[in-house]
Amino acid sequence: MRVSRLLKRVAIGAAALALVASPATAADKKIKIGVIYDYSGPLAGGGSELQALGAKTMIDYINEQGGVEGYKIDAIYADAQSKPDVAINEAVRLIEQEKVDMLLGFYSSAQCVPVSAKVDSLKKFMWITTCISPAVLKDRGLKYVFRPQVHGGMFGELSAEFIAANAKEKLGMDAKKVKIAIIHEDGPYGSGVAGGNEAKSKALGMNVVLKEGYAATASDLSALVTKLKRARPDVILHTGYNPDITLFLRQAKERGLKFKALVGHGAGYGVVDQLYDALGTDVDHFFNVDPVSIWLLNPASLKPGLGDVTAMVGEKYMAARPDTKVKSSHVGMAASNAHVFFSDVLPRAIKKYGGIDSESLRKAALETDIPEGGTLLGFGVKFPEPGKTAMDGQNLRASPVVMQYVNREVKIAWPKALQTIDPILPLTSASPYSK
């Protein structure tokens, strides 16, 4: 009898203890994520800080919703300082000292190329929201590195296709007579985009009159401007960060460089306010190739509920940056790519593969199959079967668009199915660069 009463008391005590302990246990369930962007140095203002804002906005939102399958996101933020060596050191520190379960973020391709190899060798999972160079993944066979983002070759090809498709109607000349100049910062990012520019321009029969790289840290680009004046291009395809874009355009104006159209490719060309604040209406009617700004898409074209998430990101963006005049695509880009991980990959890893270790995350990512309209950016997500392509870990369904800037407003100029403006080219007579 005494034993029976004793067991009953123990059972009651255990139940009470469980009631007290279970909330604490649930609260301690977390996935530790190292988030690396450039918060200082030249890349910060060139788009990295905005990418970081987008990622943080999504992490905070997920936590406000209760986390993922009972896991809270424990984010540890690190500054790569616009330096590849610092990015590598921070990645290793986060993995070995902070004991993070995975890494997310990264803006610069010059950082992503070495960091991705290092992280993969340490058998840690890496989710890239931004850096676009094909060299990050091409022919490397990385096992734990995934990029839902568009890659630079796609950027370069689309701008050439856009010019060729509009040459006759807009420029009044056959595409094969259009003279193209390709200029780019000489890191993996610029070189990757320029490679796509050149290959597609030549495939379309356009005349590439100049292809020239330069250091993004250059303090003088007048020699490049002189070469362009000699080459007399109709169209300039430019890939750069900042302040190199501002430096180039100021020196081009001072030295009287003329052209019919300029197409930029993300990074510094994706920060509209910075371009207009530095150069004023000189950048009117310039084009930029990037994933579409999430605020330009019709919510009805997206999976139900995503429009509300887009609105939330916009509200958080404006609360953090109240002086913003034009929402940069950078914020939406990082928010969307982070959202794919938290809403699709991570839940599957936990529910189907039982954890948040690198192998579970990898298996979950390889099973991602999001159709068009299933992300904030509009495109779908599907990764190739390992070893079947040269780009293991690259989203096969990612696609950029061509946007045009008009009076600080961003319009979609290409493809036709998404157009919100009939592209204006050549440059109007009001432009100081008008040929």
- State both tokens at 321: 């940056």
> Which pLDDT score is estimated for 25?
44
Q: Is the confidence at residue 2, as pLDDT, over 60?
A: no
Q: Is the confidence at residue 7, as pLDDT, over 90?
A: no
Write out pLDDT tens, residues 153-165: 899 999 999 999 9
> Which pLDDT score is estimated for 21?
39
- State both tokens at 252: 């081009």
Write out pLDDT tens, residues 210-248: 999 999 999 999 999 999 999 999 999 999 998 899 999
Whole-angstrom Cα distance, residue 235 to residue 244? 19
State how far Cα 424 lies from the chain centre. 26
Q: Is the confidence at residue 92, as pLDDT, over 70?
A: yes
State how far Cα 272 lies from the chain centre. 15
Best CA proximity match to 130, nearest among 34, 257, 36: 36
Write out pLDDT tens, residues 350-407: 999 999 999 999 999 999 999 999 999 999 999 999 999 999 999 999 999 999 999 9
Q: Is the confidence at residue 13, as pLDDT, over 70?
A: no
| 306 contacts 299 by C-beta, under 8 angstroms | yes
Confidence class for position 51, pLDDT limits 50, 70, 90: very high
**How many alpha carbons lie under 13 Å from residue 155 in its C-beta half-sphere?**
35
- State both tokens at 50: 């905005």
| Higher pLDDT, residue 416 or 65 | 65
This model's pTM is above 0.85 = no
> Which three-class secondary structure state does DSSP give residue 224?
helix
Domains of the chain: residue spans and CATH: 31-150+299-382 (3.40.50.2300), 153-290+400-418 (3.40.50.2300)
Q: Is the confidence at residue 16, as pLDDT, over 80?
A: no
Place of tokens 């379309």: 204
Q: Please, what is the Cα angle at 159 between 158 and 161, to 5 degrees?
A: 60
DSSP state of 434: B
> Which pLDDT score is estimated for 89?
98
What would the DSSP string read from start to end of 161-222? HHHHHHIIIIISS-GGG-EEEEEEESSHHHHHHHHHHHHHHHHTT-EEEEEEEE-TT-S--H
Kindly state the average pLDDT of the residues 85-95: 98
Burial of 319 (0-12, 13-18, 19+ CB in 10 A): exposed
**CB contact set of 366 (below 8 Å; sequence gap of 6+):** 383, 385, 386
Confidence class for position 152, pLDDT limits 50, 70, 90: confident
Kindly state the average pLDDT of the residues 195-214: 97
Kindly state the average pLDDT of the residues 40-58: 95
Whole-angstrom Cα distance, residue 58 to residue 345? 15
Average predicted confidence (pLDDT) for the chain:
92
> Which three-class secondary structure state does DSSP give residue 147?
strand
- State both tokens at 130: 């931004």
Confidence class for position 267, pLDDT limits 50, 70, 90: confident
Q: Where are the alpha helices (DSSP H) in 44-108?
A: 49-64, 84-96
Write out pLDDT tens, residues 110-141: 999 999 999 999 999 999 999 989 999 999 99
**How many alpha carbons lie under 13 Å from residue 210 in its C-beta half-sphere?**
21
- 96-106 b/e with 16+ CB inside 10 Å = b? eeeebbbbbbb
